[in-house]
Amino acid sequence: MNKIGYFSIASGSSGNCSLFFCGDTIILIDMGVSVRKLNNSLSSLGLTVDMLDAVLITHEHTDHIKGLSTFAKKYNIPVFMTKGTAHAVLQKIPHAKDIIHTFIGCESFFIKSVQVKSFLTPHDANESVGFILNCKEINFGFATDLGFIPLNVKNMLSKCDFVVIEANHDIDMLKNNEIYPYKLKQRVLGNYGHLSNVACAECVVDLVKNGVNTIVLAHLSEKNNTPVKAARYINQMLFIAGLKCDLFVAPVNEMEKPIFFEMEMDKCLALG
Ligand SMILES: [Zn+2]
Ligand SMILES: [Zn+2]
């Protein structure tokens, strides 16, 4: 596969798992689906689990590591996470020890030709991170599960061509949700919770102003947001700011097809 692209296998409060590929390097971000679902999604792209080079884990919440226990029993593929995340993960999944590789938040490392940089995210987890992946002059940013966007994170995402960013909830839908207990609402709305459509839009406007041209809205709450609401609001804010970008919403289940940054690597190189 001589292309650079992104494919969301699942996104939202019930499970998160996505794929970044650049040439022959294939990286999974988060393992929040069953191994069966992972296999099915990969085979729809003509891939198999054995073709994965690595898995990156953002943090230890169940919706990001649900499939990791079975994955660790079946495959010998390296899984990278921060030391803090590993500490929390190993308490739940001790047999994953042999495939887990740790890094310090903010450290960068290589998976084949892809440079992985991480940044710490404000979230109620043990050393959670987001990622910037650099491959062939293309920067891909990934930031979900964060209560707000710290300035250093915004600066890093601003240098990307393609950004996946959380648009978790519509504030009114969350506040009016009759099923959510008060404490849970406070958690989601807090600085260590999740990003609202409003906070996401503020960041997206700044990113697009700085040259980011493709945005994927991700980790939408199934109970407190809708893809139409999120996309409409963010598009509206871009329009008011006189800006435009390619905007996608990662569905709860897998995307219909991958988003290719550029169809052919040669073209990317030519652009670089
Ligand atoms: Zn999550
Ligand atoms: Zn989380």
Per DSSP, the three-state class of 124 is coil
Decide: 69 and 44 in contact? Cβ < 8 Å.
Answer: no
Q: Which residues surround ligand 1, an ion (CB under 5 A)?
A: 63, 145
CA of 262 to the centre of ligand 1 (A): 29
Decide: 153 and 143 in contact? Cβ < 8 Å.
Answer: yes
Confidence of residue 121 (pLDDT cuts 50, 70, 90): very high
CA separation for the pair 200, 218 (Å, rounded): 10
Confidence of residue 237 (pLDDT cuts 50, 70, 90): very high
pLDDT, residue 262, reads: 67
pLDDT, residue 261, reads: 81
| Closest ligand to Cα 64 | 1
> pLDDT over 90 for what percent of the chain?
86
Query: pLDDT tens across 78-108, in order?
Result: 999 999 999 999 999 999 999 999 998 788 9
Domains and CATH numbers, the chain: 4-271 (3.60.15.10)
Mean pLDDT for 200-206 is 98
CA separation for the pair 61, 149 (Å, rounded): 19
CA of 123 to the centre of ligand 2 (A): 7
| Closest ligand to Cα 125 | 2
Statement: residue 269 has pLDDT above 60: no
Decide: 93 and 72 in contact? Cβ < 8 Å.
Answer: yes
CA of 149 to the centre of ligand 2 (A): 15
Angle at 111 between CA 110 and CA 117, to 5 degrees: 50
| Closest ligand to Cα 122 | 2
Nearest partner of 28 among 44, 13, 47, judged by Cα:
47
| Closest ligand to Cα 166 | 1
pLDDT, residue 106, reads: 80
Single-letter amino acid code for the residue at 9:
I
Confidence of residue 270 (pLDDT cuts 50, 70, 90): very low
pTM: 0.94
CA separation for the pair 28, 10 (Å, rounded): 12
Residue by residue, DSSP assigns 180-227 as: S-HHHHHHHHSTTS--BHHHHHHHHHHHHHTT--EEEEE---TTT--H
CA of 45 to the centre of ligand 1 (A): 25
Query: pLDDT tens across 29-83, in order?
Result: 999 999 999 999 999 999 999 999 999 999 999 999 999 999 999 999 999 999 9
